[in-house]
Amino acid sequence: MNDYQQLQQHFARLNDLAHVQAIAGWDEAAMMPSGGGEARGQALATLEVIMHGMVTDPRVGDWIEGASEEQLDPWQSANLREIARSYRQATCMPADLVERQKLATSRSEQAWRRYRTENNWQAMAPLLQEVVTLAREEAAVRADATGLSRYDALLDTYEPGMTCARVDPLFADLKAFLPGLLDEVLARQAAAPLLQPEGSFSIEEQRQLGLEIMRTLGFDFEHGRLDVSHHPFCGGVPSDVRITTRYRTDDFVAALMGVIHETGHALYEQGLPAAWRQQPVGQALSMAMHESQSLLMEMQACRSREFLHYLVPHLQQAFAAADPALPAWGEDNLYRLYTRVKRGYIRVDADEVSYPLHVILRYEIERDLMEGRMEVTEIPEAWDQRMQQYLGLSTAGNYSDGCLQDVHWPAGLFGYFPTYTLGAMTAAQLFATARRDIPELMQQLAGGNFCALLGWLRDRVHGQGKLLACDDLMTQATGNPLQAHYFRDHLQQRYLGR
C-alpha cells in the first residue's frame, strides 16, 4: 500500500472506535443507570487515550508527508487535508491531559444532571472548576501550537478559521439590533391575544406525534431512533443516529420542536457521503453547519405558516384534549403559539429572536473564562448581569435556569456556543436560496412534502461532507459566502412583516 492508502486504512479503524464511543456516550446520557457512571467514565477515558494514541502515531506524520507527494483525486486530497488537520490538533495534546480531561468531564457531566435538578451551584462549582482548569491547560497548549489566542484555539476546533476578531463585531451588531427588535415584536404580539391550549398531554401522545413528524421530514428509522434525555441532543453515527428530546405533560410545543430540531441534525448525518463515512472528509463540515441544518428545519421550515397549516390537523388528532372547535386549537392561534416571542430563561426553549442573546451571553463568559479574565466563582453574578442587560430577567439564586442549565461547560465544550448563532445565519441564507431555487417549496411544505427541500440539502450540503471549506461551500450552494443580512431579513419579515 502507498502512504495515502495506509492513512485511509488507519483512519477507518479509528472511525470504528469512534462509532463505539458515540453509542456509549449516547447510552450514558439516555439509558445508563446512575450506578454505572464511574465505570463508564473510566472506560470512555481509556478509549479516548487509545484513540488519541492512534491519531498521534508517528507513522501518521510520515504517511501524511509521503501522501502529499502522491497523485490524489479531489476527495482524496480533501481527506488528506482533514487528516493532517486532525494530526496537528492531536499531536499538540499530551495523552495524560486527554485522560485527565475525560475523567473530569465525565464526573462533572454526571454530577450536573443531579445538581441542576437540585439548584445546587455550591456542589457543582468545584467540579466545574476542575473542568475549567483543564480546559485552560488545553487552550494554552493549542494556542502555543497554532499561534492563536487561547479562546480562538478552542473555537477553531469546532469552527475552523473562526476567531474572536470575526465573532465580536458580528455579535456587537446583534446586541445593537436584537434588543430593539425584541421590544418591537413583544409590543406587536401583545396586541394579538394568544390562547394557550389546555390539557394534560401524555408523553406517549407526544412521542407518537414526534415520530410521525420525523417520518414527514425524511428521517430513516432503519438507521436511527428517538429517546429521552435530560438535554435534547443528536448522537450516534450516520448509520445509527440517536436523537433525544424531553417531555412536559403541560406543554407539547417544546418537545415537538426539540424533535424537529434534532431531526435536522440527524438528516445531515444520514445524508453524509456514504463512500467517505469512514474517513474525516466524510464527516460534517463544522458545528455551525450542523446547527444550520437543525435550525433550517425547526425555525425556517417548520415554524412557517405553511408548515403549520399541515401540522395543525395532526395536533388536533394527536391529543385527546384538542377540540378543533375551540379557538385555542385553531390554525391562527397555533401559528401565534409557535412563533411567540418572549423573554425566557432557557436557551433551548428560546424563540429565534431572543436565542442569539442567550448565545452571546455564554460566549462572552466562556471567552473570559478561557482568557483568564473571569473565574468560576464569578459565573453566577456575570450570568445574572448579562441576563438583565440583554433579556431583562434576573437569575439571582436561580442556578438551574441560569448558569447550570446547559451541559456544555460541565462537558468541557468551550468554544462551542458561538456556532449556534453562526448556524442560524447559515440556515437563513440556505433556506432563502432553496426558496429561490424551488419556487413551489412553501406550497410543498404546506402539504407535508419535504422531498424537494431534503434533496436540495443532500446535493448542496449533506453530500459534500468536508470536501470544501465553509465559505466555499456557502458560495457554491448560495452564490455568496455567509452573510448576516439573510438572518435579519428573515426575522423582520416573519415578526414585523417587512
Catalytic residues: 262
Nearest to 422 by CA among 286, 262, 281: 286
Q: Do residues 51 and 24 lie in contact, with contact meaning Cβ atoms separated by under 8 Å?
A: no
CA distance 146 to 161: 11
**DSSP designation for 55:** H
CA distance 120 to 404: 9
Q: Do residues 281 and 8 lie in contact, with contact meaning Cβ atoms separated by under 8 Å?
A: no
How many other C-beta atoms lie within 10 A of the C-beta of residue 451? Answer: 9
CA distance 169 to 393: 25
CA distance 251 to 203: 10
* Bridge partners (DSSP) listed for residue 248: 251
> Is the C-alpha dihedral spanning 427, 429, 435, 437 positive or negative?
negative
Written as nine digits, the cell of 277 is: 463515512
Q: Do residues 403 and 346 lie in contact, with contact meaning Cβ atoms separated by under 8 Å?
A: no
Per DSSP bridges, beta strands 240-245 and 234-237 are antiparallel
Nearest to 267 by CA among 245, 246, 238: 238
Written as nine digits, the cell of 412 is: 468541557
How many other C-beta atoms lie within 10 A of the C-beta of residue 255? Answer: 22
Nearest to 154 by CA among 417, 434, 441, 456: 417
Widest CA span in the chain = 72
In which residue are the cell numbers 476542575 written? 130
Q: Do residues 210 and 245 lie in contact, with contact meaning Cβ atoms separated by under 8 Å?
A: yes
